[in-house]
Amino acid sequence: MEAIVLAGGLGTRLASVISDLPKPMAPVRGRPFLEYIFRYLGKNGIGRAILSVGYKWESINARFGDRFEGVELVYSVENEPLGTGGAIKRAMRLVLGDKVFIINGDTFFNVPLQKLEDEFAEEGKLMLALKKMRHFDRYGCVEVDDRGMVTAFTEKGYREAGNINGGIYLVRNDIFESFVTEEKFSFETFMEEHFKVLKIQALLLDSFFIDIGIPEDYAKAQIELSDRL
């Protein structure tokens, strides 16, 4: 199984901590955050990871090279930021199989990838993993019907409870073929605009989730993340 890891983030909100590193290289208990991602991928049967990189990507290559504990690492390099959609579309050129997992490089969502594989419909183009959250305002929500099909994406705003996009997807490698896209675009916006055509599946999983994108959660990761692997 293969995965694309979106590892091109600048980490603007973590500038005081990692001013000279890509966000996924932020240290957590003395190890780059990406190392936790790679260990997770290996434990979930991923043998090949395509790293979508840009900002100071050389630091990732210098640290990990072309293999980490049995996971082959391949680099898809952006000369300028392409957005999550543009980054995925470029990385798709390096995918060998007919489908691939997509993993955010600045979040850790400890879901069993095989479960997504098992639930993925034969005619499906895209499945995303959802996380139930309580008392939050940082994320938009994903609404689903009783068949687990996405019916709406809602904007950020305070909610007592809701299901958020956990940043893990399983997609067909031809997902963009029927659409005209710009070179730079957001994958999240792409999903929101075309969810009816894509017939997006969603799987709700109550697994450990953390987002290191803001300082308070980054500090929380120093305490909680190392125990997960």
Res. 14: pLDDT tops 80: no
Burial class (CB in 10 A: 0-12, 13-18, 19+), 223: exposed
Tokens (6 digits) for 115: 């479960």
Dihedral sign, Cα of residue 163, residue 6, residue 56, residue 183: negative
Domain range spanning residue 181? 2-228
Q: Residue 56 has what pLDDT? A: 86
Tokens of 202: 């969603």
Q: What's the domain count of the chain?
A: 1
Residue range 31-54, pLDDT digits in tens: 999 999 999 999 999 999 999 998
Backbone angles phi, psi at 85, to 5 degrees: -65, -45
The residues with which 21 forms a beta bridge, in sequence order, are none
Average pLDDT for residues 203-211, to the nearest whole number?
90
| Encoded amino acid at 130, one letter | L
Pairing mode, strands 99-104 and 126-136: unpaired
pLDDT over threshold 70, residue 162? yes
CATH at residue 188: 3.90.550.10
Checking phi first, is residue 215 left (phi over 0); if not, alpha (psi -120 to 50) or beta? Answer: alpha
Render 48-109 in DSSP notation, one character per residue. EEEEEE-TTTHHHHHHHTTEETTEEEEEEE-SS--HHHHHHHHHGGG--SSEEEEEETTEEE
| Cα–Cα distance measured from residue 32 to residue 26, given in angstroms and rounded to the nearest whole number | 5
The answer to whether 26 touches 17, Cβ cutoff 8 Å, is yes
Q: How many C-beta atoms surround the C-beta of residue 54 within 10 A?
A: 18
What pLDDT score was predicted for residue 191? 93
pLDDT, greater one: 201 or 225? 201
| pLDDT (average), residues 7-14 | 70
pLDDT (tens digit per residue) in 57-71 = 999 999 999 999 999
Contact criterion met (CB below 8 Å) for 33 and 106: yes
Q: What's the pLDDT tens digit per position in 73-106? A: 999 999 888 999 999 999 999 999 999 999 999 8
Q: How confident is the model at residue 12 (pLDDT cuts 50, 70, 90)?
A: low
Alpha-carbon span 152 to 177, nearest angstrom: 23
